[in-house]
Amino acid sequence: MVESDHDVALEDTDRIHGRTALVNNVKAASSLAGAIRSTLGPKGLDKMLVDGDGSALVTNDGVTVLEEANVEHPTARLLIDASSSQDRSARDGTTTTVLLVAEMLQNALELVRMGVHPSIIVNGYSIALEEAIKETERVSRESDGEQKSQVIRTSLQGKGDSSVCSLIASLAIEAADRLVEMEGGDDLERIVVKRLQVGEGAVMDSSLVNGLMLLKSRVDANSPENSDGGVVAIIDGGLEQAKLETDASIEVSSIGILQEFHERSRGNLQKQVAHLSSLGVNLLVVRDGIDDEAVTQLTKAGIVAYRRFERSDMDLLSRITGARPTRSVSGLGESDLGTYSKRVEERIADVNHTLIEGDGGGMTLVARGSSPAIREEAIRIFDDAIGVAHRLNSRPGVLPGGGAIQSHLARHLRSFSQSQSGREQLAIEAYASALESIPRILAENAGRDPVEIILSLSADQRESGAWIGFDLQSGENCDMGEMGILDTEFVVRHALSGATEAAIGVLRIDDVLWARTDPSTPVWDGEAEV
């Protein structure tokens, strides 16, 4: 037997399906997009995020707002995942991605209410995406050195003070240019460039330094403070006396056996230090601890030691010096050693910092500022800037910014839709309308009339081409290439692909099953209005 509304097997489950499921999923997407809508563009506003203990974070970064928010709805989480994917892959366009998903879903819902089946809309959106990607390839131009700087500054507009963004953009470009000769793909900028906060100075004092800089001081203050270079060994472990297991015990059968055990442990430490000395090691870095007995011996042997290194710092130091981490000192050989060119220890803001340089090309962004929040925001801006700069070196295509490319794609897709038969034509037109939401929102956030802007932009593009966009500073339509308002092709393409995939994923859902045992289960009563 089957119940009228639910299968008996689902009697402990609340279920919404069909149009009701779509309506509520679209409502969740629209609510999430509304939270970051006003952050888009150079005139976008900031958001203040307050956590449970009252700590506040002020940011303009869309993905930060979304990831810090306490969101439970699964569809909203799907959009956050799409934004996070955009951030990991392209480091820009996160807000645009979420706004596009919400607009695509809103327009799709209108088509469903007109009687168009979701499968038709999914097919139409897929066709529109394929054509939009082809058109971006046709419109794009290859960037030069000057345009690289313009692209980075465009991506940072609205994220902070213009002078701060300009400084960080120059640091990001410098770092990205050094990465060109290295191997590691898109993730290289996360691996090779360490981010370090220093609580002294203003944010404009932030800098990029060669090598690895970290909050560490040498184990023995009597060892040399600085060094002009030498041999380094990295131990993925410690230099400590042997310790008994938690439940282990020593059976003392004769006088002095315990003393003999400790002497044997100390002798083992001496052998390890002697082994390091025989290899010519000047600098020792370990992940775990260094026994007090070994500290004095290391200093006598002329070896400066650092302990309790983070894994990421060890990996970067390995890249910088060429040293290969080994599990123990006894297993260390000449082939595992590396070289460093300089080691400097200095006291900054009453905290000891150490800088180790080598020929491997590692770098450290030293982010300064009067508060942790300011320093964290500077690092977020740098993350976006170097991510775009690094990817631009391998994929130099650029497109007009300021909503120009989205406006052009909307016009192109409306024209293209006329060549399609069937109801997919309606879906392609809905996709075009979603793209047009980007210049509309940019105009709204700048306090301009969005309808007037969209109409004038469309007319000027029809006459002068895809590179005509709206300059929010002057209030005029002009050539985005000449104005230096540029977007990267890979960011635009990834945003289109990510948004379309997320929208299609939601459109394919026609049933939502909620376990009644979950007290946070929302109650859906009929079809809500969006």
Give the active site residue among 87, 384, 460, 487. Answer: 384
Q: Is 96 a catalytic residue?
A: no
Instruction: Determine the number of helices (DSSP H) and then strands (DSSP E) in the chain.
Output: 18, 19
Q: Which residues of 468-504 are buried (b: 16+ CB within 10 A; e: fewer)?
A: bbbbbeeeebbebbebebbbbbbbbbbbbbbbbebbb
Give the active site residue among 94, 136, 354, 364. Answer: 94
Output the CA–CA distances (angstroms, integers) from residue 29 to 33, 118, 525, in the order listed.
6, 17, 18
Give the active site residue among 39, 59, 75, 95. Answer: 95
Q: Which residues contact 452 (CB under 8 A, 6 or more apart)?
A: none
Can you tell me which residue has the tokens 């819902």?
109
Q: Which residues contact 345 (CB under 8 A, 6 or more apart)?
A: 217, 218, 225, 226, 352, 353, 354, 355
**Is residue 514 within 8 Å of 98, Cβ to Cβ?**
no
C-alpha angle 197/168/488, rounded to 5°?
125
Provide the 10 A C-beta neighbour count for residue 518: 10
Q: Is 53 a catalytic residue?
A: no
Q: Is 205 a catalytic residue?
A: no
Hey, what's the torsion of the CAs at 265, 269, 271, 276, to 10 degrees?
160
Give the active site residue among 61, 92, 220, 487. Answer: 61
Nearest partner of 209 among 66, 353, 87, judged by Cα = 353
What is the per-residue DSSP string for 305-367?
EE----HHHHHHHHHHH----BS-STT--GGG-EEESEEEEEEETTEEEEEEE-SS--EEEEE
Would you state the structure tokens that stand for residue 9, as one six-digit string?
């097997």
Provide the 10 A C-beta neighbour count for residue 448: 16
Nearest partner of 348 among 197, 209, 466, 463, judged by Cα = 197
Q: Is 46 a catalytic residue?
A: no
List phi, psi (to 5°) of 208.
Answer: -115, 125
C-alpha angle 203/208/212, rounded to 5°?
120
Catalytic residues: 61, 94-95, 384
